[in-house]
Structure 1
Amino acid sequence: MPHLTFTRVSNNGETLYLADSQGNEFTITVTEGMRAALAPKKSRSQLQMRIPVDGPLTLKDVQRRLRHGASLDEVVAESGLPLEKVESFAVPILQERAYVAEQAQACILASGDTLREAVTEKLRSRGVLNDPDWDSWRRHDALWTVVARIPADQSTVSMSDDAAEFTFDPTSRTVIPENDAARWLSNAPEPAVPAAPEPQSESVVVIEDEAVSGMTEEQAIARHPAGSGRPEPAGTPVEVSNVSPLPRDGAPAAAGGGKPLSRRAARRRSSRQRADQRREPTWDEILFGVSRHDPKDE
């Protein structure tokens, strides 16, 4: 397939003239589809920056439209003013937009290169020799949107967006890539995706008893004297000694093989034995396995 190069356009703008390497001339009729394909496309954020105005545009409205990203052709079409009149006061606005775009290109990236250097190097690595078209416009939050457009006939780069779009802060002199094309050209990492929160397990509080294995008998008694009634954790094995069986049929029990107890003393002792079975063991009983009784009750 021969490679054709554009040479000129007809006077009525309806025909394009092309030539091959041998000098042979070819023509092609301009269609509406070609016009739409060749027309510069506005990025999504630029379309959002348009300011609605009811009625005819004033000169102040025209300047605001230009500062916020509208082109001369768009302003002429919306205002109904002649191109010469719009151009007469659009020059300082367009100069401001070009100046801000240059300031953004001079920002230093994390790699140490300027934005201009990073973009140029990336394009050269893909065989794109022409510099991109830079533009900028002011946002309502005092920040600026800066775009870099690659000519369609030079784009051997796979870009998912029509233009690389950055947010520029003139105060801090920083640029932030806003789409995939901008991240690719500036070698910026992909935005981090927040990880899903891990399910939280229920908190378990473990209360450990004091270690008593290293204590002497005197230390244990001093810390937990007899009768302190310290509660013990459930499930702790307790050895209770010196508990006599209850008498049957109300018969009085003998104490240590001695003389039989009186009926009143037997009832008092039986009541105490039942209370010992119901009560919680003392700390002395847990440590030493001994149930201490008051001699007065014997």
Structure 2
Amino acid sequence: MRELRVVGLEPDAKHVVLADPTTGDKFRIPVDDTLRAAARGDLARLGQIEIETTSQLRPREIQARIRGGASVEQVAEDAGIPVAKVERFAYPVLLERSRAAEMAKNGHPVRPDGPTVETLMEIVSQAFRARGHSLDDAVWDAWRDDEGYWVAQLRWNAGRSTNRAHWRYQPDAHGGTITALDDIAADLIDPDCGRPLRYLTPVYSARDVDDSTELDGTDRSAPIQLEPPVVEEPAAEPAPVVEDTPVGATLSDDHDDDASRATQSPTKDKRGKPALPSWDDVLLGVRSNGRA
């Protein structure tokens, strides 16, 4: 790099005259803000001037976009400048957003019966524990919307999905108030957010019944067969002892005795009803009509 030295100013004082001490060649540069900032050693002003001359966004516009929720990478891509140059102006705005997010966490959510005693951070922590989520992995952020209100955001992952809850934060002397802006945010500050989830009873279809029958060999669709109860019969009375026929008796005598008993046994009783056979007739096989 060739080194030049300042020779003087032109008569209109709008250019500085420089000369090469080796060759004697002279040069001139305009007296502008860049030269003045370089002469003072103001690096911040030099960076701002560079952005103004090479970018489509002015530094104030860059800060406005960062304050509105844009990231440094988004602004750098839109402006067509390196990220490092945007960070110079984004840094103070990012600190402002971080402080707003911390203040929002200490705000009090507004419910139908008024602001809560617990802070937003306390209520959200209870809701996360009830749902089995980890608040340590969640990210808080804040920015200003088009109406000038601060919007607080909580972002966390559940499985493969990314959830975002948004609240409007309005500072006041008591810590500020929090108003839900979407269903997820309203659900987190709902007093019933920690209620246990309902369990559904499984409904079995005919296919499920068939499958279960094949597995264990039992047809659960068939009606249940109940066996009839066992009724114990009363014990039979001991049979009367029948004496043996004497040796001298003959068959004709037995026949005559049976006929005689049959003749003496009326077929009807005194009231005209059929007479019941005697116990001897039952054992010996004699019917009530006198025939064996």
TM-score (norm 2): 0.41
- In proportion to residue count, which structure has more strand? 2
Larger Rg: 2
